[in-house]
Chains A and B, each alone.
Chain A
């Protein structure tokens, strides 16, 4: 598995310059952006970077490369395990970097209470990104890259639509009330939910890979 991690890491290093640009943009936005944008941009950037996980799946599938990969001394389970581990590392790693950047910048720019408010949103985005990966990775494994990508964004779209409906139907106020009342419980439940979905996603992905033929 270590070999696979090295491979994916090398593939991403090729995109190294792109990463540096992204980090620079993040710093700039945090430094000079207006307050409303600050937390959002970094979480969006983390999201974009975690998409690279999915791109490693594309790299693997490109040019019939999976046939050779699976002929190496790894089991399909190990292949999936590595992808999920890599996803965790990358997402968490970048989230941490941006979080620290934000922490630094906000403590300079804003009052501590305001910074805290903004920064509390960050873990939420982390959880959402993990959720997104939870359903995207199995989709990418089951269907080829193009279809998989379309489907994951489709589901994201549906989710956005759902939020939109909630707002429209005036249920937002009710939702906010629930949130403020049992915040800690909800946080706890969400965290568990995210981890659980990640775990379930892993099991599903293993099953998909073991059935697949190349």
Chain B
């Protein structure tokens, strides 16, 4: 559905260089610390910036060959950009009807009612959470095949986040759709995404299926002596701790079976991020 082949973007203090792919019927997550390059990658996909190298392919076509028609198949929600705050939802509906032939007005208005989004209030007067929900609803309102969501759950409380995530799960039930989502809130992604790209300082450091990450990756907490005597072949990262080291492994089963005396924990995406960013590469 979407392919980034070795795209490069040079800024004075920062360089983005990455490849990623969002297959059909897949929810792909792009995670990483602030300033890692997530927004840059999204801007490149949406044509907001020009790339210095590499290729972007959408729906099987190279980026420059995309027609406005093709672009109606993309639904976007950006975290720090949206419709002018002086507009009301009632104003936006005709705009979208014109721009997107498949805009489903009834469904959209129904969803707005469901989430208590007043049609006659200026967007500026919405709370952060309501603005975020509106953006996601707008992205999903026109039967887009590809959703590009940049931090869609930021500013939402737990309940609202779960509602948005459930909307996304429901969205995936019909047709051949894909989602590319970036988020800080990893716990959201664990229950939603199929695969994860981890980006740091402009480079993709890790790409795994969520299942592999949650089932095979693990954190080992070991003392200094244990570290020196153990089999280190399946370790990816090492981090110094007060008690010794915490280690990231991509094969916790191996350690569960052969070194059951070690403290072995399941890994959350958050912990992977911390280890990949702060840990020493092994």
Residues of chain A touching chain B, judged by Cβ–Cβ distance below 8 Å, are 2-4, 6-7, 10-11, 14, 59-60, 62-68, 70-75, 78, 213-214
Contacts and interface: CB of A to CB of B under 8 A. Distances in A.
A3 B96 contact: yes
Interface in B143-175: 148
A145 B76 CA distance: 26
Given A74-B68, A75-B68, A213-B49, A67 B84 contact: no
Interface string B79-108: 011111111000100111111100000000
Contacts of A66: 81
B48 A213 contact: yes
A214 B49 contact: yes
Contacts of A7: 83-84, 87, 91, 95
Nearest to A4: B95
A6 B98 contact: yes
B205 interface: no
**Residue of B46, B96, B100 with most chain A CB atoms under a 10 A cut-off:** B46
B72 interface: yes
B98 A62 contact: no
A63 B131 CA distance: 13
B78 A74 contact: no
Interface residues of B, number: 30
B207 interface: no
A214 B43 contact: yes
**Residue of B68, B78, B97, B99 with most chain A CB atoms under a 10 A cut-off:** B99
A201 to B, nearest CB: 24
Given A3-B95, A59-B86, A73 B48 contact: no
**Residue of A11, A72, A74, A78 with most chain B CB atoms under a 10 A cut-off:** A72
B50 interface: yes
Interface in B39-67: 43, 46-50
A72 B144 CA distance: 12
Contacts of B86: 11, 14, 59
Contacts of B91: 6-7, 10
B78 A67 contact: yes
A33 B75 CA distance: 55
B277 to A, nearest CB: 27
Contact of B76 (A2, A68, A78): A68
A3 B78 contact: no
B99 A3 contact: yes
A2 to B, nearest CB: 5
Given A71-B76, A73-B71, A214-B49, A11 B94 contact: no
Interface of B: 43, 46-50, 68-69, 71-72, 74, 76, 78, 80-87, 91, 94-100, 148
Nearest to A214: B48
Contacts of B96: 3
Contacts of A213: 43, 48-50
8 contacts: A3-B95, A4-B95, A10-B95, A14-B86, A59-B84, A71-B48, A72-B99, A74-B68
A196 B280 CA distance: 64
B68 A70 contact: no
A78 B99 CA distance: 12
A74 B84 contact: no
Contacts of B43: 67, 213-214
A68 B49 CA distance: 13
Nearest to A1: B98
B69 A73 contact: yes
Given A11-B86, A71-B76, A63 B50 contact: no
Nearest to B93: A6
A59 B86 CA distance: 8
Given A67-B48, A214-B48, A11 B87 contact: yes
Contact of A62 (B68, B71, B84): B84
Given A6-B94, A68-B78, A213-B49, A74 B99 contact: yes
